[in-house]
Every structure is written in C-alpha cells, then in structure tokens.
Amino acid sequence: MSVVGGRIAGSTADFLPELRLGVDNLRAHKLRSLLTMLGMIFGVAAVVAMLSIGAGAQQEVMAFIEQLGVRNLIVEAREANNWESLQKVRKISPGLTFQDLRVIQANLTGITAATARKRFTPSKLMPKPQGDVPVVYGVSTGYVAIANLKVVHGRFFDDAENDAGAPVAVLGEAVAASLYGVDDPIGRYVKVNDQWFQVIGVAGSQLTVQSDVAGLPAQDRNNLIYVPLNAAIFRLEDNQSQYKDEIDGIYLQLQSSSSIPGSAALLRGLLTASHGEAGDFAIVSPAELLAQQRRTQRIFEMVMVAIASISLLVGGIGIMNIMLASVMERTREIGVRRAIGAKKRDVIRQFLIETTIISLAGGIMGVVVGVGLSQLIGYLAGWSTIVTTTSIVLAFFVSVAIGLIFGLYPAARAAGLDPVKALHYE
C-alpha cells in the first residue's frame, strides 16, 4: 500500500512542477499563446453555435409534427388556381369530396375520429383585424380530438350546431387578440364576408412553423377562426369556389400509431382509385414525418460537426507549428534538462502539458463564445436556438483530442534531441 502511495505521490510531485513550468512558458509569450488558441476558440465556437442553431430549428419542426399527432393521418387537397388547370384535373379526378371521406371511413379500420375541412380566406372581416387576415376553418367536432385543440375560454361547437350549420365561431388566440384586444370576445359577433358569427370560444396557443412541412402549407395556427363545417360550406361560399374541391382536407385519428404505415398505404390506394393519376392530393403522416425528421437531424448534426471540425483541424495545425518553433527556441533548455537526468518521457510530458493547456483554455473560451454567438444569432434573426450538453461536450472533447494529437509530434521531436548537441545549440 505504501509503495502504491509512494508512486502516486511521486508522479504528482513530477507533474505539478511541469504544470507550473508549462503555464510560465505560455505566460512568457502571451500574444503567441493567444493567437495559437484562436484556432481552437473559433473551431469550438463554430461547433457549438452551428449545432445549437440546428437543434433549435429541428426541435421547432419536430414539436410541430408531434402536435399534429402521431396517430393522425391528414389528406391535403392540391387545388387548381386557374380554369385551364382545373379542366385538366377534372378530366381525371372529381377532386377531394365527402364521398372520399365516406369511402375511407368504410374501408379503413381503427378510426377513432374523423373530419373533413373547408378552408376560406375572408375577403371582408368585421371588426377589422390589427394584423394578418385570419383564415376560416370549417370543421366538425372531431377536429378537437384530432388536433388536440384546447379551448381555454368558452366552448367548442357541438354536433347539433355542426349539423344545423349554426353561425357560431371559435377564435384562435391571435385572432381574439387582433379583433378584440384585451376585451372578452365571448358572446360578441364577428362578420365573415356577409355572414355574422357569434363567438362562443377561444382556442389556446398552438405551435406553428414559417414554412411548408411535407405537403402541409405554412399556416399560423393561432390565426384561425373555427366554424361548423356545414356553416362554412353553406354560408361562406365565395366567387373562387368554382376552382375549389368540395372539401380541401381530411383529418383522421387512428386507434394505434403502430397501424399508421399500413393505414397510410391503404388510404393512398383508396384515393388513387377515385383520383387516378391526377396528383390532386397529398397524404401527410406525422408519425413517419417525425421518424424522418429525427434521421435528418442526426445527419445534419454529423455534417455540421464535420464542417466545424475543419476549424479545429486548422487550430491543431497552428498548435503544432507554434510548438515546433518553441522546440527550436528551447533547444538549450531541453539539453540542460536531459543533462541533469530528465528522461525522454519527461520532456514529452512537458510539451504535452503545454499543448493540453492551450487546448483546454481554447476549448473553454470557445464554448463561452459559441453559446454567446448562438444566443446573439437567435436574438437578431428571431430563430430558436438550443445549446445542448452534447454539443458542448463533443466540441470540447474534439478540441482537446486535436491539441494532444498535434502536440505529440513536437513533443517527440523535443525528446529526441541529442543532449550534447542541444547544450551547444545557439
């Protein structure tokens, strides 16, 4: 036990003086040491910042996909926007219809909730909105469960109101604020085109994305007005309806997420049978999108690390260059140490300690710069950034490893000097 304790004490006694010597050597050339660290600082900062920005963007999209529901399937109509395109499609397909919904419900097993959707952008709205014009969603009551919609004030319309096409509406969070400010909207009326709707509820906040996601158009899901499906169809027809399908979306919720792949394939087959090769619909499976997004995130992270590691590689080359110059400058010092009994491993350890200090200091400062940079970019660009422990540990570990690897050759070269020649070196 005493022998082991003696070895530990001896190794510690050897290490501490060399650590102090390494720190003193770096402090003696402050500017050179700082310039050497810059490659590591920028490399680590690039890794941390790029992974943080990527993680933020990916998490936002994945959270949005999860909100869509991993047990859901969504059919989006691809509607024609002019008469010529419409005529070409109508020769092959009748467009998305209620008949499609009935066929799906009759042939697809495990459906727990379903609704068609009719979407309108009002040409007139009263009160006048303070921001963007909200979009009207005509849906049935099943939409609440499918979209996991939370009504935070008032209530959602019921089946009887939907069947009767009652003029009632539930406002999204942003619509309520845009139309009525801080006033209570419940019981008040909103005029959509030429129809008055009584506000009976306000929906809670929902996640949204700024770009299309796999067939789903970009839409501020807080800037929506929900009305009964029959009310949207019979009360809000506009002059563009001739270009539109009977319905423009179908939402389905299945009993189990494990049946999603098979159900999606069957759904595609059912719709292809009635729509042919018109290509006027898209099927969105949030569960499959989520799995694909996770794979994409892993690939993205690997690519970002590979790109940012180039900066670390350049930093490692800088360390090697400076340490080789240091070996030349300290040839006489190395010769003195070898002459008084220092072994080759002692010289190697001395130079590796110095490169490790440079790498550690550069890594720590790089992490600080990277975190600050990601926060600054997020603030200025309005992006969501997430600094993960994985990105910090990965960047820090790689920087230290590169410092050690690129410091090994100068250390070995220093240890290989002939003590006699080193003592006579000028």
Q: Is residue 417 in some structural domain?
A: yes
54-68 pLDDT per residue, tens? 777 777 777 777 677
Claim to verify: residue 139 and residue 273 sit in the same structural domain: yes
Q: What pLDDT is recorded for position 13?
A: 53
CB 339 within 8 A of CB 419: yes
Q: Is residue 100 in some structural domain?
A: yes
Q: Could you say which of 249, 279, 309 is where a domain stops? A: 279
Pick the most confident of 235-249, 261-275, 302-316: 261-275
Question: What's the rounded Cα separation, in Å, for the pair 148 and 67?
Answer: 7
Claim to verify: residue 253 and residue 350 sit in the same structural domain: no
Claim to verify: residue 274 and residue 368 sit in the same structural domain: no
Work out the pLDDT band at 194, boundaries 50, 70, 90: confident
* Residue 154 DSSP SS3: strand
Claim to verify: residue 311 and residue 168 sit in the same structural domain: no
At residue 405's C-alpha, the angle toward residues 404 and 411, to 5°, is 75
Tell me which of 15-24, 63-72, 187-196, 278-287 is least confident.
15-24
Q: Is residue 284 in some structural domain?
A: no
Q: What pLDDT is recorded for position 391?
A: 77
CB 105 within 8 A of CB 114: yes
Work out the pLDDT band at 131, boundaries 50, 70, 90: confident
Claim to verify: residue 138 and residue 98 sit in the same structural domain: yes
Question: Is pLDDT above 90 for 25?
Answer: no
Which residues on adjacent β-strands are paired with residue 191?
126, 196
Claim to verify: residue 273 and residue 298 sit in the same structural domain: no
Handedness of CA 21, 22, 24, 29 (dihedral sign): positive
Whether the ω angle into residue 127 lies within 30 degrees of 0, i.e. cis, is yes
258-291 pLDDT per residue, tens? 888 888 899 999 999 888 888 888 888 887 777 7
CB 404 within 8 A of CB 355: yes
Claim to verify: residue 257 and residue 358 sit in the same structural domain: no
**Region for residue 196 given its phi and psi (left: phi exceeds 0; alpha: psi -120 to 50; beta: otherwise):** beta
Claim to verify: residue 242 and residue 339 sit in the same structural domain: no
Token pair of 232 as six digits: 């949207």
Token pair of 383 as six digits: 């992006």
Which residues on adjacent β-strands are paired with residue 281?
77
Q: Is residue 297 in some structural domain?
A: yes
Question: What's the rounded Cα separation, in Å, for the pair 154 and 176?
Answer: 12
Question: What's the rounded Cα separation, in Å, for the pair 30 and 42?
Answer: 18
Tell me which of 84-88, 252-256, 271-275, 371-375 is least confident.
84-88
Q: Is residue 398 in some structural domain?
A: yes
Show Cβ contacts of residue 129 under 8 Å, excluding neighbours closer than 6 positions: 175, 178, 179
Percent of the chain with pLDDT over 70: 88
Task: Count how many domains the chain has.
Answer: 2
335-363 pLDDT per residue, tens? 777 777 777 777 777 778 878 888 888 88
Question: What's the rounded Cα separation, in Å, for the pair 223 and 136?
Answer: 9
Claim to verify: residue 247 and residue 313 sit in the same structural domain: no
- The larger pLDDT score, comparing residue 163 to residue 416, is at 163
Q: Could you say which of 279, 305, 340 is where a domain stops? A: 279
Please state, rounded to an integer, the average pLDDT across all residues of the chain. Answer: 81
Give the range of the structural domain holding residue 148, as residue numbers without chain letter. 79-279
Exposure string (b/e) for 119-149, b if CB count within 10 Å is 16 or more? bbebeebeeebeeeebbbbbbbbbbbebbeb
Work out the pLDDT band at 217, boundaries 50, 70, 90: low
Q: What pLDDT is recorded for position 61?
A: 72
Q: Is residue 226 in some structural domain?
A: yes
Which helix (H) or strand (E) is 43 found in, with range? helix 30-68
CB 95 within 8 A of CB 77: yes
Question: Is pLDDT above 70 for 213?
Answer: no
CB 142 within 8 A of CB 251: yes
Claim to verify: residue 237 and residue 305 sit in the same structural domain: no
Claim to verify: residue 134 and residue 177 sit in the same structural domain: yes
Q: Is residue 412 in some structural domain?
A: yes
How many helices and strands, by DSSP H and E, does the chain display? Answer: 14, 11
Claim to verify: residue 162 and residue 87 sit in the same structural domain: yes
Q: Is residue 12 in some structural domain?
A: no
Q: What pLDDT is recorded for position 212?
A: 58
Percent of the chain with pLDDT over 90: 24
CB 304 within 8 A of CB 54: yes
Q: What pLDDT is recorded for position 377?
A: 82
Q: What pLDDT is recorded for position 90?
A: 78
Q: Could you say which of 279, 302, 326 is where a domain stops? A: 279
DSSP annotation of 66 reads H
